[in-house]
């Protein structure tokens, strides 16, 4: 297919930026959306069309979709990548922050999907690619609201996949593991803000040691996920789920095979032990 149009959200850095570059290199007309437009100058220089997009602002999302359809007449691929990790003990995190976590990671994704579907249905083709996480299959201490949002993305994606199959629209979930982006720093900062001086302070310190190992020297480059997204966007019959990097695949096998009580015991021991290696990381 020629003249394919793709939207990538959260494209100012990390996975979103790498994905915009990868799709652009393959000939897509790429619209890269983010709140921080000034950080996408490098993409603009490559020919990527950058636009201001805030997935918590309905007017922003409506305007973006209307602009793309006016300029290209089609939307073939939506990559719902925008999101962040809000961390802290469930006892400590204000409900306003919990709601905002779901607003960004779930409701923004769902609303943008809703906006692009009429054009995809009319064309009887399209790809909705939702960036979830290996953390959409199991939880971790201090990550209740982040993991809740990713569990919800998984359930939402599984449901709309059934609804949209008759219209030729594929729904794909990508589940990253530990990736070298800004994500881990934001997650750790929020954990420290909410729980750094509470009864859960020891958990925060263990999280710091864990993330230094998992995301620092051993985390994969964002291009690994961009390549998985490219496969999801271009495969004749895409997989329902893509997991990357290799360490994430190992974690998903454990999550699927181990009984819940054993998983709980392992995660508690990791907390008490003060750090784990990348094959046990559960973020992003």
Q: Which residues are catalytic?
A: 12, 132, 146, 150
Give the pair of three-digit tokens for residue 9: 């959200």
2 SS3 class = coil
The two most distant CA atoms of the chain are separated, in Å, by 57
Helices (H), 48-171: 58-72, 95-102, 108-123, 144-164
Q: Which letter, b or e, does each residue of 177-187 get, where b requires 16 or more Cβ atoms within 10 Å of its Cβ?
A: bbbbbebbeeb
Q: Which of 204, 210, 124, 212 is nearest to 168 (CA)?
A: 124
Q: List Cβ<8 Å contacts ≥24 apart for 108-111.
A: 108/9, 108/55, 108/56, 108/61, 108/80, 108/82, 109/55, 109/80, 109/82, 109/83, 109/153, 109/156, 110/156, 111/55, 111/58, 111/61
Question: Omega of the bond prior to 121 within 30 degrees of 0, cis?
Answer: no
Q: Would you say 89 and 150 are in contact if contact means Cβ atoms under 8 Å apart? A: no
Separation CA 182–CA 190 (nearest Å): 13
Matching residue, tokens 């054993």:
262
Separation CA 83–CA 73 (nearest Å): 27
Give the pair of three-digit tokens for residue 71: 């300029």
Matching residue, tokens 């990868």:
22
């Amino acid at each position: 297919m020629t003249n394919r149009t793709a939207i990538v959200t959260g494209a100012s850095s990390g996975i979103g930026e790498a994905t915009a570059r990868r799709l652009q290199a393959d000939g897509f007309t790429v619209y890269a959306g983010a709140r921080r437009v000034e950080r996408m100058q490098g993409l603009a220089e490559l020919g990527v069309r950058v636009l201001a997009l805030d997935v918590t602002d309905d007017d922003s999302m409506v305007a973006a979709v209307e602009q793309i359809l006016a300029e290209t007449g089609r939307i073939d691929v939506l990559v719902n990548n925008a999101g962040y990790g809000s961390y802290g003990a469930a006892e400590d995190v204000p409900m306003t922050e919990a709601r905002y976590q779901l607003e960004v990671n779930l409701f923004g994704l769902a609303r943008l999907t809703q906006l692009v579907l009429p054009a995809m249905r009319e064309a009887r083709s399209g790809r909705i690619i939702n960036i979830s996480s290996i953390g959409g299959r199991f939880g971790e201490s201090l990550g209740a609201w982040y993991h809740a949002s990713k569990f919800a993305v998984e359930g939402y994606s599984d449901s709309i996949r059934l609804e949209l199959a008759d219209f030729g629209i594929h729904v794909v979930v990508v589940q990253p593991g530990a990736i070298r982006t800004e994500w881990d720093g934001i997650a750790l900062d929020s954990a420290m803000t909410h729980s750094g001086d509470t009864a859960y302070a020891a958990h925060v310190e263990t999280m710091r040691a864990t993330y230094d190992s998992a995301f620092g020297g051993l985390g994969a480059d964002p291009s690994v996920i961009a390549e998985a997204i490219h496969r999801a966007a271009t495969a004749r019959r895409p997989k329902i789920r893509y997991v990357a990097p290799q360490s994430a695949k190992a974690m998903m096998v454990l999550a699927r095979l181990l009984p819940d009580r054993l998983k709980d015991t392992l995660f508690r021991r990791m907390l008490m032990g003060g750090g784990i290696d990348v094959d046990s990381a559960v973020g992003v």
